[in-house]
Amino acid sequence: MKVLLIDDHPLILTALQNVIQGMGSDVSVVGVAGARAAREALAADGAFDLVLLDLRLGDADGFDLLIELRNGWPAIPVVVVSASDRSADVIRAIDLGAMGFVPKRASNETLTEALKVVMSGGIYVPPMTMGEGDAGAPDAGRDSGGSHTWPPGMDTLRPTALANFKLTPRQTDVLGLLLRGQSNKLIARELDLSVETVKDHVAAVLRALGVNSRTQAVLAVSQMSSQGAIAPWLTRPLH
């Protein structure tokens, strides 16, 4: 596995390199300190299996670079590794196509598990970030009892088993493709359905999950796991 690591803090860059390289003898890491160097690395060798991206870079906005990576190298999954754990940043990153979001405060074991989930076709978001109070306070998202609340638009949803939503097999297929970021048109092509039929299935899935958007569906499904990981079977290719 070849990983491109983008972080402009030398100590963090070195620490992350050591953690990732410790995942196995077949893992290699190329570390760069900014957007320009990342572009150069990808132009020289686009055969990366994974990109880890910090949101705060000296020469670019991390979200802008995420968009650039998803447009220019759509086959390479991107995991955001950030000092921020605000729910707004998690939602925005997933909405822009990131396959994972790991706060830098997470343990090495959590980072390793998150990367394994993403490389196996799943999606990882931190279960502790689903809070309304995103002003940057350390306890944002916690109520007085220490539990975590949901951001606006997801206040009626609570973690539960996916089976409890009683999705049909076809709706489950649609959900899996939706979690992979597929458009209605691509889902229709993959499942040999009309676009209108796919729209109906997507609407039914969102309604069953109690959410209003695809991004909320990704976050909702991730919260069904105590580890914040969407099961790879939901996001793997159907063929």
**How much is the pLDDT for 97?**
87
Provide the percentage of residues in the chain whose pLDDT is more than 90.
Answer: 41
pLDDT (tens digit per residue) in 74-87? 889 999 999 988 88
- More confidently predicted of 1 and 130: 1
Average pLDDT for 151-175? 64
**How much is the pLDDT for 221?**
78
Cα four-point dihedral sign 54, 58, 61, 64: negative
In residues, how long is the chain? 239
Q: How far is the C-alpha of 222 from the C-alpha of 122, rounded, in Å?
A: 10
Average pLDDT for 120-146? 49
> Where are the domains positioned within the chain?
2-129, 162-235
Task: Quickly name the fold that domain 162-235 has.
Answer: Arc Repressor Mutant, subunit A (1.10.10)
**How much is the pLDDT for 235?**
53
Average predicted confidence (pLDDT) for the chain:
79
- Whether the CB-CB separation of 215 and 94 falls below 8 Å is answered with yes
**How much is the pLDDT for 125?**
83
**How much is the pLDDT for 161?**
55
**Is the model's pTM score more than 0.85?**
no
Tokens for 32, please give them. Answer: 């760069």
**How much is the pLDDT for 136?**
38
Average pLDDT for 14-19? 92
**How much is the pLDDT for 227?**
52
pLDDT (tens digit per residue) in 19-49? 998 898 899 999 999 999 999 999 998 889 9
Q: Sorting pLDDT into bands at 50, 70 and 90, what band is 192? A: very high
Q: Which CATH class is domain 2-129?
A: alpha beta
**How much is the pLDDT for 30?**
94
